Amino acid sequence: MSFLNSYIYYIGAFGLILIGLYIILVKHNLIKVIIGLGVLDTGVNLFLISVGYVNKGTAPIFSKPGIGSEHMVDAVPQALVLTAIVIGVAVLALALSLAIRLYQHYGTLNLRKVREQRW
Protein backbone atom coordinates (compact mmCIF):
# COMPACT_ATOMS: atom_id res chain seq x y z
CA MET A 1 0.00 0.00 0.00
CA SER A 2 2.92 2.34 0.50
CA PHE A 3 3.34 2.43 -3.27
CA LEU A 4 -0.23 3.62 -3.65
CA ASN A 5 0.16 6.14 -0.86
CA SER A 6 3.07 7.90 -2.48
CA TYR A 7 1.97 7.67 -6.11
CA ILE A 8 -1.80 7.88 -5.96
CA TYR A 9 -1.86 11.53 -7.09
CA TYR A 10 0.32 10.82 -10.09
CA ILE A 11 -1.81 7.84 -11.04
CA GLY A 12 -4.93 9.97 -10.77
CA ALA A 13 -3.41 12.85 -12.71
CA PHE A 14 -2.17 10.72 -15.59
CA GLY A 15 -5.44 8.80 -15.55
CA LEU A 16 -7.30 12.06 -16.11
CA ILE A 17 -4.82 13.13 -18.80
CA LEU A 18 -5.28 9.86 -20.68
CA ILE A 19 -9.08 9.99 -20.34
CA GLY A 20 -9.02 13.54 -21.70
CA LEU A 21 -6.83 12.58 -24.65
CA TYR A 22 -9.06 9.58 -25.35
CA ILE A 23 -12.18 11.75 -25.44
CA ILE A 24 -10.51 14.29 -27.74
CA LEU A 25 -9.29 11.64 -30.15
CA VAL A 26 -12.36 9.41 -30.29
CA LYS A 27 -15.48 11.53 -29.83
CA HIS A 28 -17.18 13.18 -32.78
CA ASN A 29 -19.27 15.73 -30.95
CA LEU A 30 -17.54 19.07 -30.48
CA ILE A 31 -19.05 19.60 -27.02
CA LYS A 32 -17.66 16.25 -25.91
CA VAL A 33 -14.27 17.16 -27.34
CA ILE A 34 -14.37 20.39 -25.36
CA ILE A 35 -15.25 18.39 -22.23
CA GLY A 36 -12.24 16.24 -23.05
CA LEU A 37 -10.07 19.37 -23.17
CA GLY A 38 -11.42 20.30 -19.75
CA VAL A 39 -10.60 16.88 -18.32
CA LEU A 40 -7.11 17.05 -19.84
CA ASP A 41 -6.57 20.48 -18.29
CA THR A 42 -7.69 19.22 -14.90
CA GLY A 43 -5.34 16.27 -15.15
CA VAL A 44 -2.40 18.52 -15.97
CA ASN A 45 -3.25 20.83 -13.09
CA LEU A 46 -3.52 17.94 -10.67
CA PHE A 47 -0.17 16.69 -11.90
CA LEU A 48 1.47 20.06 -11.30
CA ILE A 49 0.03 20.25 -7.79
CA SER A 50 1.22 16.76 -6.94
CA VAL A 51 4.74 17.62 -8.11
CA GLY A 52 4.95 20.17 -5.30
CA TYR A 53 3.02 18.22 -2.68
CA VAL A 54 4.68 17.15 0.55
CA ASN A 55 2.94 14.34 2.42
CA LYS A 56 0.78 15.84 5.20
CA GLY A 57 2.21 19.23 4.33
CA THR A 58 0.51 22.51 4.98
CA ALA A 59 0.31 25.88 3.28
CA PRO A 60 3.67 27.66 3.10
CA ILE A 61 2.78 30.31 5.68
CA PHE A 62 4.40 30.59 9.11
CA SER A 63 1.02 30.76 10.81
CA LYS A 64 1.67 28.66 13.90
CA PRO A 65 4.80 28.40 16.02
CA GLY A 66 6.74 25.23 15.47
CA ILE A 67 6.01 24.71 11.78
CA GLY A 68 9.23 24.17 9.92
CA SER A 69 9.67 24.64 6.23
CA GLU A 70 10.02 20.86 5.78
CA HIS A 71 6.30 20.43 6.52
CA MET A 72 5.22 22.90 3.91
CA VAL A 73 4.20 22.18 0.34
CA ASP A 74 6.01 23.84 -2.53
CA ALA A 75 4.22 27.06 -3.42
CA VAL A 76 5.57 27.48 -6.95
CA PRO A 77 3.44 24.75 -8.60
CA GLN A 78 0.37 26.25 -6.99
CA ALA A 79 1.13 29.58 -8.58
CA LEU A 80 1.61 27.77 -11.89
CA VAL A 81 -1.71 26.00 -11.52
CA LEU A 82 -3.54 29.25 -10.80
CA THR A 83 -2.19 30.63 -14.06
CA ALA A 84 -2.91 27.41 -15.92
CA ILE A 85 -6.50 27.37 -14.67
CA VAL A 86 -7.07 30.90 -15.93
CA ILE A 87 -5.59 30.00 -19.32
CA GLY A 88 -7.73 26.87 -19.42
CA VAL A 89 -10.88 28.89 -18.71
CA ALA A 90 -10.04 31.26 -21.55
CA VAL A 91 -9.47 28.40 -24.00
CA LEU A 92 -12.68 26.64 -22.98
CA ALA A 93 -14.72 29.83 -23.24
CA LEU A 94 -13.35 30.54 -26.69
CA ALA A 95 -13.98 26.92 -27.73
CA LEU A 96 -17.59 27.06 -26.57
CA SER A 97 -18.25 30.33 -28.36
CA LEU A 98 -16.76 28.84 -31.52
CA ALA A 99 -19.02 25.81 -31.03
CA ILE A 100 -22.06 28.12 -31.04
CA ARG A 101 -20.86 29.69 -34.31
CA LEU A 102 -20.12 26.28 -35.79
CA TYR A 103 -23.65 25.13 -35.00
CA GLN A 104 -25.12 28.25 -36.60
CA HIS A 105 -23.20 27.61 -39.82
CA TYR A 106 -23.48 23.86 -40.17
CA GLY A 107 -26.52 22.90 -38.08
CA THR A 108 -24.49 20.16 -36.47
CA LEU A 109 -21.76 19.74 -33.90
CA ASN A 110 -20.54 16.47 -35.38
CA LEU A 111 -16.95 17.12 -36.38
CA ARG A 112 -16.98 14.27 -38.90
CA LYS A 113 -19.63 16.13 -40.87
CA VAL A 114 -17.79 19.47 -40.78
CA ARG A 115 -15.31 18.79 -43.54
CA GLU A 116 -15.14 21.55 -46.05
CA GLN A 117 -11.42 22.09 -45.71
CA ARG A 118 -9.26 19.30 -46.96
CA TRP A 119 -5.62 18.71 -47.73
Partner 1 sequence: MVSPVLLIAVPLGLAFAIPLFTLFWKAVIKWIPAAALVFNLIFSLLLLPRVLENPVIVFIGGWRPPFCINLVAGPVGILFSAIIALVGLLVSIYALDYIKEGAVEKYHILYLLLLTGATGVVLTGDIFNLFVFFEVLCISSYALVAYLRDKAGIESAVKYLIQGAVGSSLLLIGIGLLYGQFGTLNMADMAGRIDSASTISLFVPMVLLITGLGVEAAIFPLNAWLPDAHSSAPSSISAILSGIAIEVGLYAVARVVFTIFGASSILLFLSLLAILTLLVGEMCAFSQNNIKRMLAYSSIGQIGLILFALAIATSYGVTGGLFQLLSHTLAKALLFLAAGYMIYRAGSMDISDLEGMGAKMPLTSLAFTIGAFSLVGLPPFIGFPSKFLIVRAALATKETVLIVLIGLALVGTVIEGAYFFRVVQALYFKGEKGNPGRNEAPIVALLPMFILVLLIVVVGIYPKLVTDVLNSAATEFLSRLEYVRNVLG
What residues line the site for partner 1 (CB under 8 A)?
17, 20-21, 24, 30, 33, 37, 40-41, 44, 47-48, 51, 74, 76-77, 80, 83-84, 87, 90-91, 94-95, 98-99, 101-102, 105-106, 111, 114, 116-117, 119
We find the least distance from the C-beta atom of residue 26 to partner 1, in angstroms, to be 13
* Nearest Cα to Cα of residue 48 among 84, 19, 18, 21: 84
We find the least distance from the C-beta atom of residue 95 to partner 1, in angstroms, to be 5
| CA separation for the pair 41, 61 (Å, rounded) | 28
We find the least distance from the C-beta atom of residue 65 to partner 1, in angstroms, to be 26
We find the least distance from the C-beta atom of residue 106 to partner 1, in angstroms, to be 7
Q: What are phi and psi of 25, to 5 degrees?
A: -80, -35
In sequence order, the 6+-apart residues with CB closer than 8 A to the CB of 84 are: 41, 44, 45, 48
DSSP-H helix ranges across 28-75:
30-51
Looking at the Cβ atoms of 64 and 119, the one nearer to partner 1 is: 119
* Nearest Cα to Cα of residue 14 among 60, 46, 61: 46
Looking at the Cβ atoms of 34 and 64, the one nearer to partner 1 is: 34
Looking at the Cβ atoms of 6 and 65, the one nearer to partner 1 is: 6
Looking at the Cβ atoms of 44 and 73, the one nearer to partner 1 is: 44
- By CB atoms closer than 10 A (0-12, 13-18, 19+), residue 107 is exposed
